[in-house]
């Protein structure tokens, strides 16, 4: 570790221990913070090539310990009401969210959430849960990171790209992510299949058990957690047609309601690649569909008067001190 980084770490630790950030947040405008998680596993190295966005069970448990000791866990409904109506919240309110619907949300995260009494919302990518197949962005990562080929031919334009180094593979991965983010459903599946075939990689088994199934989704709801929508096939909704966006938003709500037997009122915008992740058209569709809240990946706090269909979140850092630092800074209005 460089002296500069060590110095910053010492300063952060000193400020956190002193309580100065806590005191400063108490005089700042009242706000809430929404945390974003995806996957919680025992050892993220095991899922590095498949899921690729996992955090460790130990880190997540440390986060929940700090959350219940130093902050106030609340539901997504409470935060939506605070944004929409200014309904009072406890000071330092924090909501926990999970995107996509990985099986470890039930198997690993749920016992920890139950132990500490923390409510959460799990946003479901419907097609992945229905089929057991990992999201397309995971499948593409797996294909690029495990192929033995050192060159790749673009399946549509025919160009040849080198993939011998980590940097070259990441560049191609970013390219195909952007291509898939502009597609939905069958068109997405076909592109992923073409990439897997061209890279001579055996596709990830749909029976791997890495995604939730409907029984586990219902069990999460029975345990008191909220089930939300995360589209059918995880495109970037601002980069598909209006008809496709409507089908993805309204379609996921309808499918989820049929499987859990109650209204699904909360939504999470996918952000697999490309910017922005929403536009005025998608905002109107979420409103027409009847969603009461929708969360983004844009970083920042939630304040009274914010549009409940455009709620900001922050990424959950792995290291507990950094996680706490990010929360404290967000309450002060500083994006992290």
| pLDDT on residue 204 | 84
CA dist 270 and 105 (Å) reads: 18
Residue ranges, the chain, pLDDT below 50 = 3-4, 6-8, 10
CA 98 to chain centre: 6
Residue 61 near residue 112, CB atoms below 8 Å: yes
| pLDDT on residue 292 | 98
| pLDDT on residue 265 | 98
CA 173 to chain centre: 19
Residue 242 near residue 274, CB atoms below 8 Å: no
| pLDDT on residue 14 | 57
| pLDDT on residue 5 | 54
Tokens found for residue 119: 């409510």
Tokens found for residue 165: 């180094």
Strands 302-303 and 31-37: antiparallel
DSSP track, 75-136: -HHHHHHHHHH-----TTEEEEEEEE-BTHIIIIIHHHHHHHT--EEEEE-HHHHHH-PPPH
| pLDDT on residue 7 | 44
| pLDDT on residue 13 | 59
CA dist 44 and 316 (Å) reads: 15
Stated pTM of the model: 0.93
Tokens found for residue 26: 């108490």
DSSP track, 25-80: HHHSPPEEEEEEE-EEES-TTTTTTTT--EEEHHHHHHHHHHHHHHSEE--HHHHH
Tens-digit pLDDT profile for residues 17-37: 666 556 555 556 899 999 999
Tally of helices (H runs) and strands (E runs) in the chain? 14, 13
């Amino acid at each position: 570790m460089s002296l500069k980084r060590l110095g910053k770490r010492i300063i952060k630790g000193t400020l956190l221990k002193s309580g100065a950030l806590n005191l400063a947040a108490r005089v700042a405008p009242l706000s809430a913070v929404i945390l974003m998680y995806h996957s919680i596993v025992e050892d993220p190295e095991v899922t590095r090539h498949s899921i690729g966005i996992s955090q460790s069970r130990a880190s997540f448990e440390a986060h929940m310990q700090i959350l219940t000791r130093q902050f106030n866990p609340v539901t997504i409904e409470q935060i939506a009401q605070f944004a929409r109506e200014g309904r009072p919240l406890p000071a330092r309110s924090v909501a926990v969210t999970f995107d996509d619907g990985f099986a470890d949300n039930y198997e690993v995260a749920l016992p920890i959430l139950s132990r500490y009494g923390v409510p959460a919302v799990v946003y479901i990518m419907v097609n992945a849960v229905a089929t057991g197949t990992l999201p397309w962005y995971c499948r593409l990562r797996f294909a690029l990171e495990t192929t033995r080929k050192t060159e790749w031919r673009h399946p549509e334009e025919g160009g040849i790209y080198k993939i011998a180094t980590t940097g070259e593979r990441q560049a191609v991965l970013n390219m195909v992510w952007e291509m898939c983010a502009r597609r939905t459903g069958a068109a997405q599946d076909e592109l992923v299949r073409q990439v897997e075939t061209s890279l001579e990689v055996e596709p990830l088994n749909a029976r791997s058990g890495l995604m939730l199934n409907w029984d586990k989704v219902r069990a999460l709801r029975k345990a008191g957690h909220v089930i939300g929508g995360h589209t059918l096939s995880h495109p970037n909704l601002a980069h598909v047609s209006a008809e496709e966006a409507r089908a993805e938003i309204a379609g996921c709500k309808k499918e989820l309601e049929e499987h859990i037997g109650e209204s699904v009122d909360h939504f999470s915008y996918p952000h697999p690649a490309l910017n922005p992740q929403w536009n005025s058209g998608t905002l109107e569709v979420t409103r027409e569909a009847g969603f009461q809240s929708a969360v983004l990946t844009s970083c920042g706090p939630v304040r009274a008067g914010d549009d409940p269909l455009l709620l900001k979140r922050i990424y959950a850092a792995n290291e507990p001190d950094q996680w706490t630092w990010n929360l404290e800074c967000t309450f002060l209005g500083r994006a992290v």
